[in-house]
């Protein structure tokens, strides 16, 4: 096959890996399965401490040969571009940059090719159906006003149960979010995307198809969150210029059985620190009159953790809330 011709205008998939090569390789196998939508894939590794880099590199060399590129973040920052025939790249970020910054490295590289019209930011702990990417692209092509498009996320271990119908709703009062369609049977997924889109505050970050126009006008993901709230920040910054879309036929199996770090589950201290820090950080940026209310609901969560004697989680959540006193960073520049 003439890959130079095959890669014309194909979407670019950006995957972030951190100590998760097994999940990443399973995701990659699904992206390149027989009948899957043609794509170029960029895996960004956040300085994994396991065997991720050599494992992914070996997989890519065996599968793609000369159509594989191995780059560093310094290469990307220095203006590196992929050759037209290269279908897969492994980018070594050189440090744990967090979700947004880690993915932004790949997005920057993707946009160096003027033929790239769409970038699919996809979690590495997913497995996609063959037409998942194609269905999302079709939804965005049908309505150029859509800047971010979500997929039907279902639980990997329970594929008949929905995790989210593309997006989630957000409460300014509590700072909490709720996935649209959570836990509904997959057989009941509505095909009317407009009804779901009307409830969106943002597209769930496990599978976000973003248009080049959105990236050029709104910019990259804001990097100072590190973990959580990047996707709602992105959607909010694009509000008024771009709509949020949903492709019901784009089905992605997600291994994350529930949202990480919620107060209900206890969560790890580190995840709770970022959850509460960023909940207040986002509220301060976009809904400042509601900050006191968000603090109140956050402290209620901390009280519940204290009742359960989850003292490390209590301390981490309080440290996150106290970070509100530190000024947040400005939005990143357009790529």
pLDDT, block means (10 residues), the chain with 335 residues: 50 97 98 95 97 98 97 98 95 97 98 96 98 97 97 97 98 97 96 94 98 97 95 97 98 70 60 95 96 97 96 95 68 58
Token pair 């009948």 is found at 35
In this prediction, residue 326 carries a pLDDT of 59
φ/ψ region of 114 (left if φ > 0, alpha if ψ in -120 to 50, else beta) reads alpha
The pTM score is 0.92
Cβ 226 vs Cβ 104: under 8 Å:
no
Residue whose C-alpha is closest to residue 329's, from 224, 233, 221, 226:
224
Q: How far apart are CA 173 and CA 289, in angstroms?
A: 9
Give the pLDDT confidence score for residue 135 in this predicted structure. Answer: 97
Residue with tokens 């049977």: 185
What does the pLDDT read at residue 69?
A: 98
Rounded distance, CA 267 to CA 259, Å?
Answer: 9
What is the token pair recorded at 263?
């107060």
Return all residues near 182 (Cβ < 8 A) that are at least 6 apart.
162, 163, 164
CB 324 within 8 A of CB 282: no
223, 104 Cβ separation under 8 angstroms: yes
């Amino acid at each position: 096959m003439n890959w130079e011709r095959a890669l014309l205008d194909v979407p670019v998939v950006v995957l972030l890996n951190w100590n998760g090569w097994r999940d990443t390789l399973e995701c990659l196998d699904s992206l390149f399965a027989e009948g899957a939508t043609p794509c170029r894939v960029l895996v960004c590794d956040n300085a994994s401490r396991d065997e991720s880099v050599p494992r992914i590199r070996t997989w890519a060399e065996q599968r793609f040969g000369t159509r594989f590129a191995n780059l560093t973040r310094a290469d990307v920052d220095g203006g590196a571009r992929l050759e037209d025939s290269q279908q897969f790249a492994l980018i070594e970020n050189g440090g744990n940059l967090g979700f947004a910054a880690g993915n932004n490295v790949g997005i920057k590289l993707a946009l160096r090719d003027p033929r790239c019209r769409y970038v699919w930011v996809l979690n590495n702990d997913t497995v996609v159906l063959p037409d998942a990417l194609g269905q999302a692209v079709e939804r965005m092509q049908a309505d150029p006003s859509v800047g971010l498009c979500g997929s039907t996320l279902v639980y990997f271990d329970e594929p008949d149960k929905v995790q989210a119908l593309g997006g989630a709703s957000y409460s300014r009062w509590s700072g909490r979010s709720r996935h649209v369609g959570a836990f509904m049977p997959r057989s009941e997924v509505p095909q009317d995307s407009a009804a779901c889109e009307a409830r969106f505050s943002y597209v769930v970050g496990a599978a976000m198809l973003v248009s080049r126009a959105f990236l050029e006008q709104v910019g990259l993901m804001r990097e100072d969150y590190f973990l959580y709230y990047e996707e709602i920040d992105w959607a909010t910054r694009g509000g008024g210029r771009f709509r949020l879309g949903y492709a019901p036929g784009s089905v992605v199996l997600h291994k994350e059985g529930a949202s990480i770090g919620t107060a209900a589950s206890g969560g790890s201290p580190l995840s709770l620190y970022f959850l509460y820090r960023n909940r207040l950080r986002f509220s301060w940026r976009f809904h400042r009159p509601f900050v006191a209310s968000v603090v109140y609901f956050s402290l209620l969560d901390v009280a519940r953790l204290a009742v359960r004697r989850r003292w490390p989680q209590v301390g981490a959540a309080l440290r996150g809330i106290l970070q509100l006193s530190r000024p947040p960073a400005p939005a990143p520049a357009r790529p």
